[in-house]
Amino acid sequence: MFTLKARRDFSVPVEAECITCDVFSEKSKEEIKSLSIWEGNRRRELGLLFDVKYGGGSDQNETEIRLVGDFGKVRKIGRGMTKGKMVIDGNVGSHLGEEMEGGSIIVRGNAGSWLGSAMKGGRIEIIGNAGDYVSAPYRGSIEGMRDGEIIIHGHAGNEAGNFMRGGLIRIEGNARQFLGIHMRDGTILLLGNSAGRVGAEMLGGRIIVCGQVPEILPTFTIDAVRPSVTVAGNENKKGPFYRFLGDLADNGEGRLFISKPSNPHLSFYEEYL
Nearer to other proteins, 10 or 138 (CB): 138
Least spacing, CB of residue 76 vs other proteins, in Å: 13
φ/ψ of 48, rounded to 5, equals: -75, -30
Least spacing, CB of residue 249 vs other proteins, in Å: 12
- Three-class DSSP category at 237: strand
Nearer to other proteins, 8 or 139 (CB): 139
Least spacing, CB of residue 139 vs other proteins, in Å: 5
Least spacing, CB of residue 153 vs other proteins, in Å: 31
Nearer to other proteins, 42 or 139 (CB): 139
Instruction: Round to whole Å and give the CA distance between 232 and 225.
Output: 20
CA distances from 78 to 18, 97, 102, 124, 217 (A): 7, 5, 10, 10, 36
Nearer to other proteins, 71 or 114 (CB): 114
Least spacing, CB of residue 29 vs other proteins, in Å: 29
Pairing of strands 236-246, 50-54: unpaired
φ/ψ of 187, rounded to 5, equals: -135, 135
Pairing of strands 42-45, 50-54: unpaired
Which residues does 237 contact at the CB level (< 8 Å), separation at least 6?
Answer: 189, 208, 210, 228, 229, 230, 231
Nearer to other proteins, 140 or 218 (CB): 140
Instruction: Round to whole Å and give the CA distance between 91 and 113.
Output: 12
Least spacing, CB of residue 140 vs other proteins, in Å: 4
Nearer to other proteins, 28 or 141 (CB): 141
Kindly state the helix (H) or strand (E) to which residue 227 belongs, with its residue range.
strand 221-230
> What does the binding site for other proteins look like in residue numbers (CB under 8 A)?
137-143, 203, 250
Q: How many CB atoms lie within 10 A of CB 249?
A: 12
